[in-house]
Amino acid sequence: MTELSDKERLRYSRHLLLKEVGEQGQLMLKQAHVAVVGCGGLGSPALFYLAASGIGRLTFIDNDDVELSNLQRQILYKINHLGQGKTRAASKVLASLNNEITLTPINARLTQDNVAELLNEADIVLDCSDNFNTRYLLNAYCRAANKVLIAGAAIATQGQLMCFDFRAESPCYACVFPMDSQASTENCDNFGVISPLLGIIGAQQALLTINVLLGHHQGSLFSVLDGLSLQQKPYRLTKNSECECCGLK
């Protein structure tokens, strides 16, 4: 479909007012396919905003069920979702928000055997996972497939936003966090996390995704947000010649 319907023009009217988006930009969002790996604290706000913004197809992957401890930060879910699979619950919530986009929920754990099949058609991949095995797997796959990988992380009071644009020469996630790093043992389960921090980083992942799709952002990015001072600091990314994934050896 090469134009927006009258209903879509009304729904996305605030986008259409922006010269940075406009009708042509909204059509680009409508034609895009974004995959989100992890439907938890980061995936929840990212999926909300991507669905609301009119991303034409959203694939989201997770194999966990909704638990009571999730409700402190995973804003897709409500009390009545407890015990349900996250992708099933997320699909119902997102469909109630926007019934004009295609939702593809996948109740599975991402593995070396299924990653290419599940993510092959996606234009951009969002890493909203909570474990380093998945992060390194996504990094290696997106690098090999020349895809854009937008990763987020939040622990305690610090958040991180990352973009690895593998459509061109780029450092990778393992350049920043080597596979033998002690950081690989850190997660929300043992360090905790302040709830709104995940909302900020997840929303930034969605915003960065839209900027990449509309051509407003190219290249790689790494920034750290202090959840106490609210200061966000960018860092220059460079390739690590000793990187196990993309090293120059």
Query: Which domains occur in the chain, in start order?
Result: 32-235 (3.40.50.720)
Look at 127-131, 172-176, 183-187, 240-244 and tell me which has the smallest mean pLDDT.
Answer: 183-187
* Three state DSSP letters for the chain: CCCCCHHHHHHCHHHHCCCCCHHHHHHHHHCCEEEEECCCCCHHHHHHHHHHHCCCEEEEECCCECCHHHHHCCCCCCHHHCCCEHHHHHHHHHHHHCCCCEEEEECCCCCCCCHHHHHCCCCEEEECCCCHHHHHHHHHHHHHHCCEEEEEEEEECEEEEEEEECCCCCCCHHHHCCCCCHHHHCCHHHHCECHHHHHHHHHHHHHHHHHHHCCCCCCCEEEEEECCCCCEEEECCCCCCCCCCCCCC
Mean pLDDT of the chain: 94
- The whole-angstrom separation of Cα 7 and Cα 20 is 21
pLDDT at 184: 52
- CA-based radius of gyration for the chain: 18
| 51's tokens | 């669905």
pLDDT higher than 60, residue 185: no
- pTM, whole model, 2 decimals? 0.94
- The whole-angstrom separation of Cα 192 and Cα 16 is 40
Average pLDDT over residues 91-96: 98
